[in-house]
Chains A and B, each alone.
Chain A
Amino acid sequence: MKGTRKRFDVWTNISFLIFAFYILFLALPLFTMLFKSFYNGTTGDFSLAYFVKFFSKPYYTNALFNSIKVTVCVTALAAIIATPLAYIMATVKIKGNSTIRILILLSSMSAPFIGAYSWILLLGRSGVITKFVSNTFGITMPDIYGFTGILVVLTLQMVPLIFMYVSGALKNVDQSLMEAAESMGYSGFSKMRKVLLPLITPTLLAGGLLVFMRALADFGTPMLIGEGFKTVPVLIFNEFISEVGGDDGFAAAISVIVVLFATAIFLLQKFVANRKAFTMSALHPIEAKKKKGIGNIAAHAVIYLYTLIALLPQLYVIYTSFLKSNGRIFVDGFSLQSYRDAFNNIGGVITNTFFLAIVSLVVIILLAILIAYVTVRRKNALTNTLDIFTMFPYIVPGSILGIALLITFNNKPLAISGTALIMIISFVIRRLPYTIRSSAAILHQINDGIEEAAISLGASQMKTFFKITLPMMLAGVVSGAILSWITIITELSTSIILYTGKTKTVTVAIYTEVIRGNYGVAAALSTILTVITVVSLLVFLRLSGQKEVSL
């Protein structure tokens, strides 16, 4: 008995502290938001007025409908594109295979709105491709704005996520399963439909959920390319930010509706996924084989073409960053003027970004290790609740969390709005899950006996943790931390709500420059961000000795 009691001391205290952190910075803000949505801003009475307003005006309900339409279409399309890509990569030896994987991953690592604005530069009303086509062929290209544009941009952004999930699952499919299917007379398409697809269904469901939540929450893309096509995040943002006619309470009410909807989808997915769940591990994984002839060419063509399209927006942004610009328009010739402007006017954002991101990352690593440990190794009611808390950022869109934090911490006693602290807190809460997930995953693989061995040899709880458990966890922690890091530096939807002049990040600066039409400066900053991302990724791959990042 005593053995177990003593264990409780240290780890229970840690659990309580982390629990308090989540109560204060996640539960309280969400609760405040819920509270606001039900209270009339002027009279202070309980009222359903905001909800009635939302559901009685087509202007609002249309936005909800638009959001659902975009989200469902993006999720489906991303799965439809990503699955064959992953299958080809798993079965056919593609030249430059690991580079391609990294490039595909990279294409998902910029903020989605950068893709949106680049596509506008390419395919917009005065985009280069649009102009080129109309000048040479006299054809007017279909409109990129609105639903189509959002669909294109978000799908390209999300395909890599599902691609990585499915690639991971395919690694666990044993070659002999495929051979067994063939021996029973299934081949080609029927083999895939009857055997492979069911095997990767749990993975598709998991990846699909992630994409669904991201597409639902994305705010930058519809803002830039949506034009008349309004989605809910845009609506919330406008309601909250606009100085005239905006209403915090109404923004809160819409947020509540979105969170409820997202929660419902989340639970539905869990319900379906639980019934389909099974574990796989392959003794002889499927091997990529060298193909011959037309099949080989087709496979290469598909992979290369996709990679090119996915990278095109980022490449074009990099290209434009070196163009000479006159005021807001690009002119002939190259120059570094955009970079000079970027550094002169808003160089501070780079130091801001590094400061905020590094502090957040340190906190994330620390919390993730502790949370992973208590939720995996010290299961009890408290840590189970903690586990659920850590999942909330999947469900609560960034802009909504931003609003919730802002309305909660605007006043005393905890008036931290406008400080770096609130930015850091939002980054930590939103980007913790990546590191928790990878840390917990590796902890599951570490045999309990190892810790008991250390204890039986006379090591204390803490010594066992620091000398044995932590060193063994480290690889997993780092692989999640790289994702946390990259998603922090490209974060927009929360920072756009929480930032002030002193805490403006690179991503926010890019966004505001794009809105102002300073495409040159925006391009220069985007390029800098891309370089930071690429370097981080390469350093990680180099240090970890891994060939890819697992989501």
Chain B
Amino acid sequence: MSVTITIKDLVKKYGDTTVIPELSLEIKKGEFFTLLGPSGCGKTTLLRMIAGFNSIEGGTINFNERVINQVEPGKRNIGMVFQSYAIFPHLTVKGNIAFGLENRKLSKAEISSKVDEILKVVQIEQYKDRMPKNLSGGQQQRVALARAIVIRPDVLLMDEPLSNLDAKLRVDMRNAIKDIQREVGITTVYVTHDQEEAMAVSDRIAVMKSGIIQHLGTPQEIYQRPANVFVATFIGRTNIIEGSLTRQASSYSLHFGSSYSEEISNIQLPVSNKQAELNVKISVRPEEFIITEDQTGMKATIVHSVFLGQNTHYFVDLESGQRVEITQESKTAQILEPGQIIYLKVKTDKINVYDATGELNYTRGDQL
């Protein structure tokens, strides 16, 4: 049985330092939910508050209707996967997986069949009687996962479970985790600092900074309409260009310096804002640039290029002196040479326009 997790005005303090100030969040039943953010932003802290290993200095956490602030970790019916795996080294694979079941007053036969069943799900049946030290990192990871889900927890909590694996295994395991989670349908809270991993596995992501949720949305929403400049730069790659915005009759004009402007319609300024011209920060992802053939747009000079097969990345200097990165699908024609002059436009439906502080996204998402 999985649950909805409702977090309300949650506060975490270590002594006098507040690590999480008043955080609210709802994680839906059966959802794969990811906490994403740079190291030290409070992801682990929040996860361990849900698990019950960290004290709560304010606010509430609910599993469905039940407030669990005062409930012991062992009574919360959670499954937890640790960054270090935390496999019991003196127990076999079976012993590890059965450990949680043994606390649940089941018969030997029931335990045994549940263990076998879960071993099949995580595909490590053949290692059942091995000691953990004889398993590879990926296999240990599967044991940790099996041990956490075999107890049929209401909530599955994972703290950077893949960070100790090599790159290839990381991709394999994240797919495995996603598949297994879908199969068992447990509400899952997943912590990572790797945005690509987060995008790959999550139903929804909360991007955090300094204990505050910056953006909460699906991977697509977060990538395409990041709530602020921090999220735009943290998720994927982007170029932030200073520009200005002027009002037109029914739309807006977006100015990249003096030489290049675009008409843009999907802008929504706050009603209180009556200014005719505003300074803005424009986020343009490398793939949102177009190299024009007719010498219109921003003038730029190629600095160097990186050929990556399907795409070629160019680093170019704009007239303002700012260096930006652009991506083009690789063509059979020659790669552009350093020193070469090109002209750039942007895909106005895709770029994001922020206020001068970078905190507020003026772009509406509905035209995507």
Residues of B within 8 A of A456 (CB): 51-53, 73-74, 76, 78-80, 148
By CB atoms of chain B within 10 A, which of A450, A457, A463, A467 has the most?
A: A457
Q: How far is B72's CA from A369's CA once the two chains are assembled, in angstroms? A: 25
B151 surroundings in chain A (CB, below 8 A): 457-458
Main DSSP-derived SS at the A contact region: helix
| Given A3-B72, A457-B147, A457-B151, A452:B88 Cβ within 8 A | no
Which of B73, B88, B104, B147 has a CB less than 8 Å from the CB of A468? B88
Is A472 within 8 A of B74, CB to CB?
A: no
Cα distance, A174 to B84, chains bound together (Å): 25
Asked if residues B100 and A452 are in contact (CB atoms below 8 Å), the reply is: no
| A457: chain B residues within 8 A (beta carbon) | 74, 79, 99-100, 103, 147-148, 151
Q: How far is the CA of A16 from the CA of B323 in the complex (A)?
A: 65
Residue of B70, B74, B148 near A455 (CB, 8 A) is: B74
B86 at the interface (CB under 8 A from A): yes
User: Are B53 and A452 in contact, CB atoms less than 8 angstroms apart?
Assistant: yes
Q: Is the Cβ of B80 less than 8 Å from the Cβ of A4?
A: no
Measured between alpha carbons, how far is A219 from B71 in the docked complex, in Å?
58
Query: Once the chains bind, are A454 and B99 in contact (CB under 8 Å)?
Result: yes
Taking a contact as CB atoms under 8 Å apart, the answer to whether B86 and A4 are in contact is: no
In the complex, the answer to whether A452 meets B80 with C-beta atoms within 8 Å is yes
Closest residue of chain A to B104, judged by CB?
A458
**B82 and A453 form a contact (CB under 8 A):** yes
Nearest-Cβ distance from residue B143 to partner chain A, whole angstroms: 11
Q: Does B168 make an interface contact (CB < 8 A)?
A: no
Is B261 in the interface zone, CB < 8 Å from A?
Answer: no
Q: Quick check: is B124 within 8 A (CB to CB) of the other chain?
A: no
Q: Which of B59-75 contact A (CB under 8 A)?
A: 69-75
B341 within 8 A of A: no
Would you call B55 and A458 a contact (CB within 8 A)? no
What residues of chain B lie closer than 8 Å to A468, measured between beta carbons?
Answer: 88
A450 surroundings in chain B (CB, below 8 A)? 86-88
CB distance from A429 to the nearest CB of B (A): 31
Those of B127-170 within 8 Å (CB) of chain A: 147-148, 151
Residues of B334-348 at the interface with A, using a CB-CB cut-off of 8 Å, are none
Given A454-B99, A455-B73, A455-B74, answer yes or no on A447-B84 (Cβ-Cβ < 8 Å). yes
A199 vs B51: C-alpha distance when bound (angstroms): 43
Question: Once the chains bind, are B86 and A453 in contact (CB under 8 Å)?
Answer: yes
Chain A residue nearest to B157 (CB atoms) is A456
B54's nearest neighbour on chain A, judged by CB, is A3
A508 to B345 alpha-carbon distance, docked (Å): 96
A461 nearest CB neighbor, chain B only: B74
Interface string of B72-108 (1 = CB under 8 A from A): 1111111110111011111000000001100110000
- Kindly state whether residue B56 has any CB partner on chain A within 8 Å: yes
Q: Is A2 an interface residue (CB 8 A)?
A: yes
The one of A458, A463, A471 in contact with B75, judged by C-beta atoms closer than 8 angstroms, is: A458
Q: Which residues of A contact B55 (CB under 8 A)?
A: 1, 3-4
CA distance A458 to B73 in the complex (A): 8
A548 to B77, CA, bound (A): 45
Provide the bound-state CA to CA distance between A141 and B235, in Å: 85
How far in angstroms is the closest Cβ of chain A from B152? Answer: 12
Q: How far is the CB of A174 from chain B (nearest CB, A)?
A: 23
> Is A449 at the interface (CB under 8 A from chain B)?
yes
Q: State how many angstroms separate the Cβ of A451 from the closest Cβ of chain B.
A: 8
- The answer to whether residues A449 and B147 also contact, given A454-B99, A458-B100 and a CB cut-off of 8 A, is no
Task: Give A468 to B90 CA distance when docked, in angstroms.
Answer: 8
Residues of the A chain whose Cβ atoms lie less than 8 Å from the Cβ of B80 = 452-453, 456
A102 within 8 A of B: no
Chain B residues with CB under 8 Å of A472's CB are: 88-90
Q: A452-B73, A456-B79, A459-B74 are in contact. Are A3 and B52 (CB under 8 A)?
A: yes
A6 on the B face (CB < 8 A): yes
Q: Is the CB of A463 within 8 A of B70?
A: no
* Closest Cβ–Cβ distance, residue A259 to chain B (whole Å): 37
CA distance A4 to B48 in the complex (A): 13
Interface residues of A in 466-485 (CB under 8 A from B): 467-468, 471-472
Task: For residue A83, give the distance in angstroms from its CB to the closest CB of chain B.
Answer: 35
| Residues of chain A with a CB closer than 8 A to B72's CB | 2-3, 6
A460 interfacial contact with B, CB 8 Å: yes
Q: Report chain A residues within 8 Å CB of B88.
A: 450, 453-454, 468, 472
B100 touches A471 (CB 8 A): no
For residues 1 through 43 of chain A, which have their beta carbon under 8 Å from a beta carbon of chain B? 1-4, 6
- A447 and B84 CA atoms in complex are apart in Å by 8
**B139 CB to nearest A CB, Å:** 17
- Contact assessment for A447 and B86 in the assembled complex, using a CB-CB cutoff below 8 Å: yes
A177-195 interface (Cβ within 8 A of B)? none
Closest B-chain residue to A467, C-beta based? B99
- Inside 8 A of A1's CB, which chain B residues have their CB? 55-56, 69-70
Max count, chain A CB within 10 A of own CB: residue among B69, B87, B90, B147? B90
Q: How far is the CA of A450 from the CA of B147 in the complex (A)?
A: 12
CA distance A3 to B61 in the complex (A): 14
**Chain B nearest CB: distance from A381 CB in Å?**
16
**Shortest beta-carbon distance, A412 to chain B, in Å?**
47
Q: Using Cβ atoms and an 8 Å threshold, which residues of chain A touch B89?
A: 472
The answer to whether B84 touches A463 (Cβ under 8 A) is no
Query: Would B103 and A463 count as touching, CB distance under 8 A?
Result: yes
Q: Which B residues touch A455, using CB under 8 A?
A: 53, 73-74
B76 partner residues in chain A, CB cutoff 8 A: 456
CA distance A463 to B75 in the complex (A): 14
Nearest chain A residue, comparing its CB with the CB of B151: A457
A433-457 vs B: 1/0 string, CB under 8 Å? 0000000000000010110111111
Task: State the Cβ distance, A526 to closest chain B Cβ, in Å.
Answer: 40
Cα A4 to Cα B75 in complex, Å, equals 14
Determine the chain A residues whose CB is within 8 A of the CB of B79 once the complex forms. Answer: 456-457
A388 to B88, CA, bound (A): 31
Chain B neighbourhood of A3, CB < 8 A: 52-53, 55, 72-73
Min CB–CB distance B256 → chain A (angstroms) = 50
Query: Which residues of the other chain, B, contact A463 by a CB distance below 8 angstroms?
Result: 103
Q: What is the minimal beta-carbon distance from B189 to any residue of chain A, in angstroms?
A: 13
Q: Nearest Cβ in chain B — how far from A9, in angstroms?
A: 12
Whether B51 lies near A471 (C-beta < 8 A) is no
Q: Which of A460, A467, A471 contacts B74 (CB 8 A)?
A: A460
Check B71 against A2 for contact (C-beta < 8 Å): yes
Q: Mark A102-127, 1 if CB is under 8 A from B, else 0.
A: 00000000000000000000000000
Query: Is the CB–CB distance between A458 and B74 below 8 Å?
Result: yes
CA distance A143 to B28 in the complex (A): 88
**A471 engages B90 (CB within 8 Å):** yes
CB-defined contacts of B104 to chain A, threshold 8 Å: 458
B99 with A459: CB separation less than 8 A: yes
In the assembly, what is the distance between CA of A420 and CA of B90, in Å? 38
Kindly state the separation between the CA atoms of A1 and B51 in the bound complex, as whole angstroms.
12
Report the separation of the CA atoms of residues A175 and B104 in the bound assembly, to the nearest whole angstrom: 51
Kindly state the separation between the CA atoms of A450 and B90 in the bound complex, as whole angstroms. 11
Contacts of B56 in A (CB 8 A): 1
Q: Within the assembled complex, what's the spacing in Å between the Cα atoms of A463 and B99?
A: 11
A475 to B, closest residue via Cβ: B90
Pair B73/A459 contact, Cβ less than 8 Å: no
Provide the residues of chain B in CB contact with A453, threshold 8 Å.
80, 82, 86, 88, 147
Known interface pairs A449-B84, A454-B99; A2-B147 also in contact (CB < 8 Å):
no
Shortest Cβ distance from B101 into A: residue:
A457
CA distance A6 to B70 in the complex (A): 11
Q: Name the CB-closest residue of B to A464.
A: B74
The distance from the CB of A466 to the nearest CB of chain B, in whole angstroms, is: 12
- Give me 6 A-to-B residue pairs in the complex whose CB atoms sit less than 8 angstroms apart, sorted by A's number: A447-B82, A449-B86, A450-B87, A452-B86, A456-B51, A457-B148
| A binding-site residues for B, Cβ under 8 Å | 1-4, 6, 447, 449-450, 452-460, 463, 467-468, 471-472
A1-B70, A458-B74, A458-B100 provided; 12 other pairs, C-beta below 8 A? A1-B69, A3-B72, A449-B83, A452-B53, A456-B51, A456-B53, A456-B74, A458-B77, A458-B103, A459-B74, A460-B74, A471-B90
**What 7 A-B pairs have minimum CB-CB distances, sorted nearest first?**
A457-B100, A449-B86, A458-B103, A453-B86, A449-B82, A456-B80, A458-B74
